[in-house]
Copies of this chain bind each other. A is one copy, B any other.
Amino acid sequence: MAAGADSGSSGRARTSVWLEGRPAPKRRGERPTGLDRLDRDRIVAATVRLLDSEGLARFSMRRLAAELGVTAMSVYWYVDTKDDLLELALDAVTGEVELEEDPGADWRDQLRELAVSYRGLLVVHPWVSPLMGEYLNVGPHALAVTGVAQRVLRRSGLAPEQLPGALALIYQFTYGFATIEGRFARRCADAGISQDDFYRQVIGTIEDRPEFDETRDIRESRTGATVEELRTCDFAFALDCVIAGIESLRAPSRRV
């Protein structure tokens, strides 16, 4: 199976569930015999649960149906394709990002909090990251996140035409950073070793080789910390860089 991606495996070239006709559940209203009935929400919830526990590669429509105690094809009554279902699951967990807006707070703190929360999402659900790259990511929750980020960033004093670039910087950096982080974690889990052990192992095979001499001072400046701690440090420093950069490039007239 490996790293399949791309869309259009089934021939049709849809762009997004959210941009097509039917973002709402098919029929609702009278269903007195509910309870054990299928349901779009139940399907999406089960999808998220399966993706969390077994990963994207092991997820299949048949596996999902089994989990729901139903035949493989029943799911297709509620969802057009596997892609659409994954897109729904993606937006569902995107709702987990914390979005309390406090217009009185420092925009730097707010931006940091947002980035940290977003990173958390990608690390807790490692399957989110490949799907974000795969789909357009224009579901309601995704739009809410970018909306908040945009408003926070605006308070920094950047000019309107500077905002998209700055937003992309913070957003894509966090995405890329947490992607690697989540993948690495899952790799280690699959291989049955701790992240720290694996890190030490890699360092071990590298230390001898002369081409890595020039980075010895970096490695030595980081001994004694766990991989987790190191990453949190790196992430924080990168955010500091971004914020410092924004502060030095924003329109001088609006300097606070």
Contacts and interface: CB of A to CB of B under 8 A. Distances in A.
User: What number of copies of this chain does the assembly contain?
Assistant: 2
B234 A130 contact: no
Nearest to A61: B2
A63 interface: no
Contact of A230 (B164, B173, B221, B245): B164
Contact of A241 (B56, B138, B166): B166
A238 B173 CA distance: 10
Interface of A is mostly: helix
Contacts of A245: 240-246, 248
Contacts of A244: 244-245, 248-249
Interface stretch (A21-29, A68-76, A98-106, A182-190): A182-190
A172 B169 contact: no
A78 interface: no
Interface string A182-219: 01101100111000001000100100000100110110
A8 B59 CA distance: 12
Given A130-B134, A244-B248, A86 B171 contact: no
Interface of A: 1-10, 13-15, 19, 55-58, 81-83, 86, 126-127, 129-131, 133-136, 138, 147, 150-151, 160-166, 168-169, 171-177, 179-180, 183-184, 186-187, 190-192, 198, 202, 205, 211, 214-215, 217-218, 221-222, 230, 233-238, 240-249
